[in-house]
């Protein structure tokens, strides 16, 4: 079974379209620990690292027990999420099979113990996952020039996108990473339609190059809802530490 974590403020149309992928869609409960615009964003509240789901330590206890009942390998952050940057970025990192990309100064200590043999790529950008969409283990899209340069040097194919033209209610604009998520190796779902995005043709071409098909969960402009984070429960190997 695949599980997709989404902001609880997801539109019904988006939810229904995502569920067509025989995926269990789980709404992440908002927190009042950070500001409203990102308070339900999965990439702020959760990090998926290989077969582990790391949640912010103050997550709703009923939600925590529900995830455990699904046999997910759930762990809690050491720190609490703070209201503003940099205290709300402790889990907003990018994990691929080889790399862990974040401003490591602010990464939650618990999470740092879980990344195994991944190479840490330390960048100034704290909202790393917001800024970055992982297309494959060899390709990313980002609006952050330092992430782009750093990953190109490490052999990744990178599409650098200008900032802007992405909705994020409550803020001036959102980021590409927060608009989408890989459902499987060949499918990336988007909140919104790339044809209504200023740089949509660049994204479509880049996805095609990597044999990834874009799917639009709604037909409007792209919206940053804090990423669609997906984990395949078949891949989970449990460890003893659930605290």
**How far is Cα 216 from Cα 189, in angstroms, rounded to an integer?**
6
Distances (CA, A) of 77 to 32, 90, 133, 155: 17, 8, 23, 31
- Which among 191, 169, 179, 177 has a CA at the least distance from the CA of 36? 169
CA distance 71 to 66: 9
Architecture of domain 2-235: 5-stranded Propeller (3.75)
45-93 per-position pLDDT tens digit: 999 999 999 999 999 999 999 999 999 999 999 999 999 999 999 999 9
End-to-end C-alpha distance for the chain, whole angstroms: 24
Position 236 scores a pLDDT of 65
pTM, entire model:
0.95
Element spanning 52, H or E? strand 52-55
The CB density around residue 235, as the number of other CB atoms within 10 Å, is 10
Residue 38 pLDDT grade (very low, low, confident, very high; cuts 50, 70, 90): very high
Confidence at 242, pLDDT banded by 50, 70, 90: very low
Place of tokens 């996108």: 161
Domain ranges, ordered by start, for the chain: 2-235
**What pLDDT shows up at residue 22?**
85
**Percent of the chain residues past pLDDT 70, beyond the cut:** 96
- Residues contacting 59, CB < 8 A, separation 6+: 29, 31, 45, 76
């Amino acid at each position: 079974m695949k599980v997709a974590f989404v902001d609880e403020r997801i539109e019904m149309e988006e939810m229904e379209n995502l569920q067509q992928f025989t995926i269990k869609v789980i709404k992440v409960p908002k927190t009042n620990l950070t500001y409203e615009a990102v308070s339900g964003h999965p990439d702020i509240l959760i990090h998926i690292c290989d077969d582990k789901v790391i949640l912010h330590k103050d997550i709703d206890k009923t939600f925590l027990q529900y995830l455990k009942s699904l046999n997910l390998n759930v762990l809690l952050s050491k720190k609490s999420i703070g209201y503003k940057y940099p205290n709300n970025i402790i889990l907003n990192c990018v994990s691929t099979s080889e790399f862990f990309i974040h401003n490591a100064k602010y990464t939650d200590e618990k999470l740092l113990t879980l990344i195994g043999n991944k190479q840490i790529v330390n960048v100034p950008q704290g909202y790393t996952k917001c800024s970055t969409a992982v297309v494959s283990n060899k390709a990313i899209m980002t609006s952050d020039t330092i992430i782009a340069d750093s990953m190109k040097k490490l052999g990744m194919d990178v599409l650098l996108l200008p900032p802007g033209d992405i909705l994020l209610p409550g803020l001036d604009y959102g980021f590409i990473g927060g608009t989408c998520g890989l459902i499987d190796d060949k499918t990336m779902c988007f909140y919104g339609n790339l044809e209504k995005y200023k740089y949509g043709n660049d994204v479509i071409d880049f996805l095609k190059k990597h044999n990834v098909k874009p799917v639009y969960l709604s037909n409007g402009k792209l919206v940053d809802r804090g990423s669609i984070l997906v984990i395949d429960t078949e891949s989970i190997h449990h460890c003893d530490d659930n605290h």
